[in-house]
Amino acid sequence: MKKNCIEADLFCVNCENETTHEIEYKDEQIYRITCENCGIQVQINPEFVNKHFKEEFIKRIFTKPVRMTEEMEADLSLFLKSLPSRVISKPYRVYKEYTEKTKE
């Protein structure tokens, strides 16, 4: 079983602020997210997720932080230029794809 961790600044619902979080991966999927300020943890149950959602869709969501890091490392200026529009449009695109997938 492959396991690694990265740090990211995320909004913590317990702290009600953006704080540093440790994101733990197991077998290339997000397994647990821990706020380093208050210690609250969110653990992802891959069996539950796979049972209730399309596997490929979930895999794309769980691997998004890794893919974004790769984009950033490849071309930081292009990544930063595209980020504002992506942040605005991504929630809608994910919702639209999710509703289409769940109808299948």
Span 11-39, pLDDT tens digits: 888 998 899 999 998 877 788 999 999 99
Q: What is the predicted pLDDT for the residue at 30?
A: 83
To the nearest whole percent, how much of the chain has pLDDT over 90?
24
pLDDT in tens, 45-92: 777 766 766 677 777 878 888 888 899 999 999 988 888 888 788 777
Computed from CA positions of residues 87, 48, 46, 11, in that sequence, does the dihedral angle turn out positive or negative? Answer: positive
- Confidence class of residue 1 from pLDDT cuts 50, 70 and 90? very low
Distance between CA atoms of residues 60 and 88, nearest Å = 18
Amino acid at position 49, single letter: V
CB count within 10 Å of CB 63 equals 15
Q: What is the predicted pLDDT for the residue at 50?
A: 67
Distance between CA atoms of residues 47 and 28, nearest Å = 14
Indicate whether this model's pTM tops 0.85. no
Distance between CA atoms of residues 1 and 29, nearest Å = 11
